[in-house]
Structure 1
Amino acid sequence: MTVAASGPVFSLWEIPFSYHGSWFGFSPVVAEGTYAEEVHLVSHQTGMHAVMKLIPETAATITATPHRLTWHDGLIDLAYESMDTVRVRGRGAGLRVLAADPVLTPFSGPYFYQDPVDGSYVFTLYQTGRRYRITLLGGRAEHLGTQALGAAERGIRLSGEWEIAIEEYETARAPYTAKDPFDQVVKAARAEFEAFAQAVAPWRGDRTPAAELAAYVLWSATVRPAGFVTRPAVLMSKHWMDKVWSWDHCFNAIAVAGGLPGLAWDQYRLPFDHQDASGALPDSITHSEILYNFVKPPIHGWALRHLPAAPDVYPLLERWTTFWLTARRVPGHELPHYQHGNDSGWDNATTFDPERVVQSADLAAFLILQLRELARLAPGPDAAARWSAQADRMRDALLAELWDGERFVARGVLSGRTWSSSSLLDLMPIVLGEELPRPVRAALAAAIERHLTAYGLATELPDSPHYLDDGYWRGPIWAPSTVLIEDGLRRAGYPDLADEISTRFRALCERSGFAENFDARTGQGLRDRAYTWTAAAYLHLAAAHERRTGGQ
């Protein structure tokens, strides 16, 4: 990543080119871990689907900034005019716009035709259930291919001085008419992004070189309400992780809260729009799917500490907390349990190797914080006292039942046996900060420091026999664990260690971008490379650092 006068320049092989509110973007990433040679229009309605590919007639270098995508140093330019419309312009360089999948069957693939009403060219794609209209605004277009079933090249070839508009829509709309010249479209897109960046990171500057790109990752991954997405939502990525998971959203809410509180509350409340009858939040939400097979950890009370004055979230938080206190507590037990590692968000952490149904210290710690928030938000003193007493009981049970004098252990709910692991998850109770006794805080801080590599906090001790460089939660550095532990250490009285963790993670993002997670030994980005909670963590930590050190 580099920063030019026109904004950050980034690689499409890392971050897709998209626009705030749009459900599609442009990228060579066409499926999980699958990289094409050409740039594709990729839609995220009904899943991730490559719709069409844009192929210059001659080999071209590609440059991406938040407001413009170019081939051949500007001989071909692409910019968003709106959430569902892009303009593409060619100045002497030819371009073929072809169906990504050449195979048409009765129930899949691209149907391509020329509309006799306005002369536009239209892809109708079964996989997305949407239409993609190409309107020629200038130059020459040659229709390629056939409407017949089977494999064929389908699309158009553009040549000379040309310009087109590409729209995503449902069934029908009025013929497209250009309202502004191309350069004005680019200028407007740039202004839209710059306003967002100024709102969420007004402090950005030379000391925070990745802030503007982090803002772009969040801005461009935001989609308008559609399908099951009931509010403007920051997806985890406009690559294959194109969902909102019910803890990821908290970090995105925190990152934008300072400048865009309305968007922040939309992020926070989206999973609560789908809270079920038991009070549980779904595991994940996307355009055409809601999954309830797992839940995610109750960090929502913790998150409220970092958000502006709350709207009426008390009833929602009460139901979510009651779910854990009823459906996830064995009768007679004070401590709740996870049914699987996926419930914790740390899917395959070594904490869950001995058993899956587990009382773990992180869960109790998160619920204690959530109970404290319920006491703060309670509508009256009786309710506040009840929640406070419940928090006290759970804290006492956590220390009595899962602290062995040196470390926190996990307990199998079915077997009753306890064990410790070398996972960073076992150290997560540091989020309780000042609520923990001083000896417990000291032991946790010392153990956390052992996880600190040159790049940040490894989720599994690097000298553990279970450590894997690309082991998901068994080694790599992750944004949420970094933010939670950094915050807990600071409140526990260990600001120097918290500062070091923040510094190393911010440097990691400035070096390796905003990947889903990172190799703890090398700092290499892993998995999905345009992950919003990583960008959100950078913005949150950088803003806090600027405040502490005299920045804006």
Structure 2
Amino acid sequence: MKININSIPFSRYGSYFVISDFDEGLLLRDVHGGDESPSELFRLSFDEEVVLDCDETKLTIHKKTDRNAKVEFIYPTDSTVHIKTSGLALKLDAEKVRYDSFNSMEKNNYEYISYKKETKYHLEVLSGEMAVDAPWRTVGNDYISLELAADSELYLTNYRVIYELVKPQPFEEAHAVVQKEYQEWLSNMPETQPEYQQPHNLAAYLLWTNTVQADGLLKLPITYMSKNWMQNIWSWDNCFNALLMAERYPELAYNQLKIFNLYQDESGAYPDFINDKYVSYNCVKPPIHAWAYQKMIAINAQFGEESFLAEMYDSFSQNTNFWLKYRSHDGLPYYTHGNDSGWDNASIFHEGFPITAPDLTAYLIRQMDILAEFADKLRKHDEATEWRQQADELYERFLPTFFDGKQLRAFHTFTG
């Protein structure tokens, strides 16, 4: 499948490395630190006019007038990039900050220490030549400019503290391994109908390429929505990813929700988003999680087993009580920001906050009904009765509160 890296980044399962083609140019990036952290590592350029050709496992950049003159990129592992040039040289200019340093180690080996990313990179020239222009000035390099000659290979590895020496596989062998990994992933996706095969394959690739390995605050492998500009996991989008992975990748699907259990506030609120460096509680997301988990159980009965269900029931209960106890006025839940809603810039938020909205109340009613079902399955019948009673009471208020005879309305929480 052809991948347009203007909109979809070239990466791989588990990796924080990304190649993106933005308006400002072709960039090798590292998405550690989330979408508020500058991700640019190297700007990639060529002396010749080039054309990009990308599929799920390899990016090829070839000379416009000669397809045999090319530079190829693969990700042999989730922490490495292998670059091979054939008849075409590649320039890599570091997007550095003051203290970044580029050190020459033993022959054909270099270490790039990035303060911006708080990460180190080992670069090894496997064959051919790489010219290094990186003049030193007291505390860092003035600039770092590399040129990988035609018919050369460069192997780039990221690490935090200690680099463990590895012997890379030959380029074609490594690519074959990655191709096999991806085909196994794709073949294990739920089946679809022929007319939907192309978007189905695209969705499968997005799940694969947007997954990152456990690192830092991310205690579990999880799936971002994008590695171009949404380099976090949100307590809303996580549900959509979990639904598609529930059938064939249950552990990864479960992780999408479990990661928020690990950082659930004492109040019961889930973080708005998490990345490897940061957890944000500034906003929250609506209580849709029990609804999503109920659908996951319908897809894969494993999620209904008592050990899994009990953990999620306890977490969803705490989250529901957050809305009931700490984010309600006159018994009705309210938003304090558009980012709380999943409809960040919706028109009901154009006049300010806090806002009491019908969608949020509906989500809360549905969540309590589902929690009642879960409680019965866990033999917590008193709790089930309480959830149903609270859901019914809120339901009885729903239309009188929000329906004006023609349509549903939101209103300012404290002025009406």
Structure 2 match to 1:18: 11
Q: CA deviation at 1:207?
A: 3.5
- Please say if 1:257 is aligned against 2:246: yes
Structure 1 match to 2:220: 231
> Percent of counterpart pairs with the same letter?
30
Structure 1 match to 2:328: 329
Structure 1 match to 2:314: 315
With over 3 angstroms needed to count, the CA separation of the structure-2 counterparts of 1:230 and 1:175, relative to structure 1, is closer
Aligned partners of 2:283, 2:174: CA distance in 1, in Å? 43
Secondary structure at the counterpart of residue 45 of structure 2: strand
Q: CA deviation at 1:18?
A: 0.3
Structure 2 match to 1:158: 148
Q: Is the 8 A contact 2:102 2:141 kept in 1?
A: no
Q: CA deviation at 1:359?
A: 1.8
Report the TM-score, using the length of structure 1 for normalisation: 0.68
Structure 2 match to 1:50: 40
Q: Is the 8 A contact 1:40 1:100 kept in 2?
A: no
- Please say if 1:170 is aligned against 2:169: no
Alignment of 1:90-489 (within 5 A): 90-101=85-96, 104-106=97-99, 110-116=100-106, 119-148=108-137, 152-178=142-168, 180-203=169-192, 205-308=194-297, 309-310=303-304, 311=308, 312=310, 313-330=312-329, 333-378=330-375, 379=378, 380-415=380-415, 417=416
**Structure 1 residue identity aligned to 2:12:** Y
Q: Is the 8 A contact 1:275 1:282 kept in 2?
A: yes
Secondary structure at the counterpart of residue 129 of structure 2: strand
Structure 2 match to 1:481: none
Q: CA deviation at 1:152?
A: 4.5
- Please say if 1:77 is aligned against 2:72: yes
Q: CA deviation at 1:411?
A: 3.0
Residue by residue over 1:327-360, the C-alpha shift from the partner in whole angstroms, topping out at 9 and shown as x without a partner, is 0122xx3322222322212223221234411221
Q: Is the 8 A contact 1:204 1:212 kept in 2?
A: no
Aligned partners of 2:38, 2:277: CA distance in 1, in Å? 11
Q: CA deviation at 1:92?
A: 2.1
With over 3 angstroms needed to count, the CA separation of the structure-2 counterparts of 1:145 and 1:215, relative to structure 1, is same
Report the TM-score, using the length of structure 2 for normalisation: 0.89
**Structure 2 residue identity aligned to 1:388:** R
Q: Is the 8 A contact 1:361 1:410 kept in 2?
A: yes
Residue by residue over 1:140-170, the C-alpha shift from the partner in whole angstroms, topping out at 9 and shown as x without a partner, is 2222232226874424322242112111111
**Structure 2 residue identity aligned to 1:54:** L
Q: CA deviation at 1:203?
A: 2.6
Aligned partners of 2:245, 2:208: CA distance in 1, in Å? 10
Aligned partners of 1:28, 1:290: CA distance in 2, in Å? 28
Q: CA deviation at 1:183?
A: 0.9
Secondary structure at the counterpart of residue 216 of structure 2: coil
Secondary structure at the counterpart of residue 292 of structure 2: helix
Aligned partners of 1:299, 1:398: CA distance in 2, in Å? 18
Q: CA deviation at 1:64?
A: 0.8
**Structure 1 residue identity aligned to 2:76:** E
Alignment of 1:529-540 (within 5 A): none
**Structure 1 residue identity aligned to 2:176:** K
Aligned partners of 2:193, 2:154: CA distance in 1, in Å? 36
Structure 2 match to 1:522: none
Q: CA deviation at 1:230?
A: 2.0
Aligned partners of 1:66, 1:204: CA distance in 2, in Å? 21
Name structure 1 gaps, 5 residues minimum.
1-7, 30-34, 418-552
With over 3 angstroms needed to count, the CA separation of the structure-2 counterparts of 1:174 and 1:284, relative to structure 1, is closer
Aligned partners of 1:231, 1:213: CA distance in 2, in Å? 24
Residue by residue over 1:286-341, the C-alpha shift from the partner in whole angstroms, topping out at 9 and shown as x without a partner, is 221111111111111221232033413111011000111110122xx332222232
With over 3 angstroms needed to count, the CA separation of the structure-2 counterparts of 1:254 and 1:48, relative to structure 1, is farther
Q: How many residues of Structure 1 are paired with residues of Structure 2 in the alignment?
A: 394
Secondary structure at the counterpart of residue 314 of structure 1: helix
Secondary structure at the counterpart of residue 253 of structure 1: helix
Secondary structure at the counterpart of residue 363 of structure 2: helix
Q: Is the 8 A contact 1:236 1:248 kept in 2?
A: yes
In the TM superposition, structure 1's runs of 4+ consecutive aligned residues that sit over 4 Å from their partners are 149-153
With over 3 angstroms needed to count, the CA separation of the structure-2 counterparts of 1:157 and 1:354, relative to structure 1, is closer
**Structure 1 residue identity aligned to 2:44:** L
Secondary structure at the counterpart of residue 97 of structure 1: strand
**Structure 2 residue identity aligned to 1:367:** L
Residue by residue over 1:492-535, the C-alpha shift from the partner in whole angstroms, topping out at 9 and shown as x without a partner, is xxxxxxxxxxxxxxxxxxxxxxxxxxxxxxxxxxxxxxxxxxxx
Q: Is the 8 A contact 2:18 2:227 kept in 1?
A: yes
Aligned partners of 1:51, 1:10: CA distance in 2, in Å? 22
Secondary structure at the counterpart of residue 255 of structure 1: helix
Q: CA deviation at 1:204?
A: 5.8
Structure 1 match to 2:84: 89
Aligned partners of 1:28, 1:134: CA distance in 2, in Å? 22
With over 3 angstroms needed to count, the CA separation of the structure-2 counterparts of 1:373 and 1:105, relative to structure 1, is same
Q: Is the 8 A contact 1:314 1:374 kept in 2?
A: yes
Secondary structure at the counterpart of residue 371 of structure 2: helix
Q: What RMSD, in angstroms, separates the aligned Cα atoms of the two structures? A: 1.9
